[in-house]
Structure 1
Amino acid sequence: MRTLLITGPGGSGRTTVAAATAVAAARAGARTLLLATDRTDTLTPVLGTGAVPGLTTRFLDAAAGFRDDLAALQERAASVLDLLGASRLDPEEITPLPGAGELALLRALRDAAPAEEHDVLVVDLPPFARALELLALPEELRRCLRRLLPPERQAARALRPVLGRLAGVPLPAEWLYETAARWDVELGAAEAVLADPGTSVRLVAEPGPAGADAVRTATLGLALRGLRTDLLIASRVLPEHGADAWLATPVAQQRKVLEEWRETHRVHAVPHLGRDPRGLDDLAELGLPGADAAPGRVRWPVTDRLAEDGVLVWHIPLPGARREDLDLIRRGDELAVTAGPFRRTVPLPSALRRCTVDGASLREGELRIRFRPDPALWPRGR
């Protein structure tokens, strides 16, 4: 399945681009699902009243999902709640907690992506800062769960009471491990959707100074997460010719930004219609592509330079990164990488776990970390 995640700075036209992309994909013959995540319905006015064969629109209702989850939890814990004399919450008095929307969207991604009734999934994500936090959530939550409740350290059920008495401390109850395992499976399914070769991000931004800064930051953040950007959509592009004299400065600025973007991205310019696009005719006039070929996996390869330099080199693409904003911390078999405002902790490839960090450099938008084999751990004769 082809999954397109649409995001960009607030007010850049993300919802319009998501709608036009979904319409284009459906009109090209793909069975398309458009997932709207905005708390307010901004999508319906953009699509208008016309129907597109092959296009299904689904609105995310975080409040309903949260109420259903809490009601199910109360049912599972009914005996405990009755024993404690607790009064149950009525669905009408439940309001979503912070973060419920993000978890609901991850669940919607997990449920929609493997569905056989659709060929293309287009997701209208929140503005970039929130979107990146959302996209990082499955990996970070799974990492925290595994550090707090590592599955490989679970004692056998029959031994837990004995070990608890010997250690003098209570061991985690079975239900805690079962809950952690269930969360790990659900988060893993969402993480698999994001890591799938058919999933990519489309950035939307206006070609001006603010848009250029936003794209630079977004590109770095997505690269650190290993997410693929297959298209940069320049929205509301002013016409080069026939514009009034007072538009000369913004037109010159957008020309400069577009030239810079085309050096590092595949760019699709969307014309400014002079109005907010409304309805299928306006969306078609934007000329946005549907779901083209996926860009493939983002790879962080390890090259063997043992014969030449005595090191292995880990290549991490970080376009737009600056040396002064980079930081690396080795902790056991993990490496914490900081790039500008973003940070990610990643497991080391198996070969590098038997090495020590020998240095790093940033060249042509790629972080190259050198690892030297540890004689105490490296096999002899290698």
Structure 2
Amino acid sequence: MRTLLITGPGGSGRTTTAAATALTAAREGTRTLLLGTDRTDTLGPVLGDAATPHLTVRRVDPDTDFRTDLAALQDRAASALDLLGASRLDPEEIAPLPGAEELAVLRALRDAALPKPEEEAYDLVVVDLPPTPRALSLLALPEELRRYLRRLLPPERQAARALRPVLGRLAGVPMPAEWLYGTAARLDLELAAVEAVLADRDTLVRLVAEPGPSGADAVRAAALGLALRGLRVDALVATRVLPESEAGGWLAGPVAQQRKTLEEWQESYAVHPVTHLGRDPRGGDDLAALAVPGAGAEPGAVSWPVTDSAADDGVLVWHIPLPGARRDELDLIRRGDELVVTAGPFRRIVPLPSALRRCTVDGAALREGALRVRFRPDPELWPRTR
């Protein structure tokens, strides 16, 4: 199954693009799920009366998901709540907390990509993500939350569950309850499933932007953030492109500006220009007129290879693709067996490949859209050769 994540700057037409993509795929015979993540039904007005047997539309409901999760948590923590004399919250007084919407989107993505045996399976899942800044934060959430969980509740400490009551009496302080570790373990499994979907070679991102200076800046930032997360861009849909027939008169300037941006984009992406219809697209006929492709590019993973130059230069080089990165926006920090990479407004803490953990950082350079970090083997840790 393939997953296509659609995002772009606010107002760029990403919801329209998501609907057109899903409709095209479904009409080609692909069993397609179109997943909406807005609290309001933005997909409904765009699709209008468009229908096809192979298309299913679903919207994330963070309110219901949050109430269900909190009710389950209260049930698991019943003994602790009773011990503290705390009263339970009723469903009607529960309102989602900040972050609940993002978790609901991630769960819906996991459920769509990994359906239960009794649920319908799809060939393609098209996800209408929030605008790019929020989408990038959302896509980073599973990895970051798992990191926090492992730091706060290390899995290796769960092996001593049977000793917690004894340790609590000896120490004179309450020890973490069983339900807390159980809840953390369940959450970790859910987040790991989402991470697996995002890391799958069949998961691609489709960017949407209007050609022009602001669109170019937004695409550069989005591509950089996605690359740092190891996500591959399937295509760039250029929306509201003015026809060349309008190159004369008062539209000559905007047409020329769009043409320049499109030429620059075509050097790096598979660009699909979408002609401005003169109105907001609504319904099947308008969406078909946009001619947005369905499934898109062939699947493929993003690789961060390590090349061995030890024989010539005495170093190993880790290649991290960062298209659009600028030298003055980059920062690297080695922290134990991890590398903290900052690129513009984005940051990611990545574990070092096993061979590089026995090396020291020898320098870094940005060349041809890739950050090349040099590592020199540590004589104290590297196997000695005779």
Query: Could you tell me the TM-score, scaled by structure 1's length?
Result: 0.96
CA deviation map 1:87-139 (0-9, x unaligned): 32221222111111100000001111023521000000000000000000000
Whole-Å separation in 1 of the counterparts to 2:307 and 2:121: 41
| Alpha-carbon distance, 1:23 to partner | 0.2
**For the Cα contact (< 8 Å) 2:235–2:297, is it kept in 1?**
no
Whole-Å separation in 1 of the counterparts to 2:309 and 2:171: 48
CA deviation map 1:287-310 (0-9, x unaligned): 010013434000000011110111
Instruction: Report matched runs for 1:175-254 at 5 Å.
Output: 175-242=179-246, 245-254=249-258
Whole-Å separation in 1 of the counterparts to 2:171 and 2:365: 47
Q: What secondary structure, in the 3-state scheme, does the structure 2 residue paired with 1:264 have?
A: coil
Counterparts in 2 of 1:63 and 1:258: CA distance versus 1, 3 Å: same
| Alpha-carbon distance, 1:171 to partner | 4.4
Whole-Å separation in 2 of the counterparts to 1:181 and 1:294: 35
Instruction: Report matched runs for 1:144-183 at 5 Å.
Output: 144-161=148-165, 171-183=175-187
Farther-moved stretch of structure 1 (215-224 vs 176-185): 176-185
CA deviation map 1:69-93 (0-9, x unaligned): 1122223333433443333222122
| Alpha-carbon distance, 1:175 to partner | 2.6
List runs of 5+ in structure 2 lacking aligned partners. Answer: none
Of residues 262, 266, 270 in structure 2, which corresponds to 1:266? 270
Q: What secondary structure, in the 3-state scheme, does the structure 2 residue paired with 1:190 have?
A: helix
CA deviation map 1:346-374 (0-9, x unaligned): 00000100110000000001000000111
Whole-Å separation in 1 of the counterparts to 2:174 and 2:219: 50
| Alpha-carbon distance, 1:149 to partner | 1.7
Whole-Å separation in 1 of the counterparts to 2:183 and 2:50: 45
The aligned counterpart of 1:68 is 68
The aligned counterpart of 2:296 is 292
The aligned counterpart of 1:36 is 36
| Alpha-carbon distance, 1:19 to partner | 0.2
Instruction: Report matched runs for 1:58-97 at 5 Å.
Output: 58-97=58-97
| Alpha-carbon distance, 1:180 to partner | 1.6
CA deviation map 1:262-293 (0-9, x unaligned): 01111010110000001000000000100134
Of residues 345, 348, 366 in structure 1, which corresponds to 2:349? 345
Counterparts in 2 of 1:203 and 1:310: CA distance versus 1, 3 Å: same
Whole-Å separation in 1 of the counterparts to 2:175 and 2:330: 40
What is the count of residue pairs matched by the alignment? 382
Farther-moved stretch of structure 1 (318-327 vs 147-156): 147-156
**For the Cα contact (< 8 Å) 1:2–1:294, is it kept in 2?**
no
Farther-moved stretch of structure 1 (223-232 vs 287-296): 287-296
The aligned counterpart of 1:111 is 111
| Alpha-carbon distance, 1:156 to partner | 2.6
The aligned counterpart of 1:257 is 261
**For the Cα contact (< 8 Å) 2:234–2:296, is it kept in 1?**
no
Whole-Å separation in 2 of the counterparts to 1:24 and 1:69: 36
The aligned counterpart of 2:282 is 278
**For the Cα contact (< 8 Å) 1:62–1:100, is it kept in 2?**
yes
- 1:27 matched to 2:27? The reply is yes
- 1:138 matched to 2:130? The reply is no
Of residues 371, 375, 385 in structure 2, which corresponds to 1:371? 375
CA deviation map 1:242-268 (0-9, x unaligned): 455111110000000000000111101
CA deviation map 1:310-331 (0-9, x unaligned): 1110000001111111000011
Letter in 1 for 2:17: V
Counterparts in 2 of 1:176 and 1:229: CA distance versus 1, 3 Å: same
Q: What secondary structure, in the 3-state scheme, does the structure 2 residue paired with 1:330 have?
A: strand
Whole-Å separation in 2 of the counterparts to 1:244 and 1:264: 29
**For the Cα contact (< 8 Å) 1:228–1:295, is it kept in 2?**
no
Letter in 1 for 2:8: G
Query: Could you tell me the TM-score, scaled by structure 2's length?
Result: 0.95
The aligned counterpart of 1:55 is 55
Counterparts in 2 of 1:82 and 1:331: CA distance versus 1, 3 Å: same
Q: What secondary structure, in the 3-state scheme, does the structure 2 residue paired with 1:290 have?
A: coil
| Alpha-carbon distance, 1:163 to partner | 5.2
Instruction: Report the RMSD for the aligned CA atoms in angstroms.
Output: 1.7
Whole-Å separation in 1 of the counterparts to 2:179 and 2:346: 35
Whole-Å separation in 2 of the counterparts to 1:157 and 1:69: 24
Letter in 2 for 1:73: L
Letter in 1 for 2:215: G
**For the Cα contact (< 8 Å) 1:197–1:294, is it kept in 2?**
no
Counterparts in 2 of 1:379 and 1:189: CA distance versus 1, 3 Å: same
| Alpha-carbon distance, 1:146 to partner | 1.0
Whole-Å separation in 2 of the counterparts to 1:50 and 1:160: 59
Q: What secondary structure, in the 3-state scheme, does the structure 1 residue paired with 2:245 have?
A: coil
Whole-Å separation in 2 of the counterparts to 1:113 and 1:223: 22
The aligned counterpart of 2:358 is 354
Whole-Å separation in 2 of the counterparts to 1:327 and 1:372: 19
Farther-moved stretch of structure 1 (372-381 vs 75-84): 75-84
**For the Cα contact (< 8 Å) 1:317–1:367, is it kept in 2?**
yes
Whole-Å separation in 1 of the counterparts to 2:41 and 2:127: 14
Q: What secondary structure, in the 3-state scheme, does the structure 1 residue paired with 2:244 have?
A: coil
The percent identity for this pair of structures is 79
| Alpha-carbon distance, 1:159 to partner | 3.8
Farther-moved stretch of structure 1 (107-116 vs 199-208): 107-116
- 1:321 matched to 2:325? The reply is yes
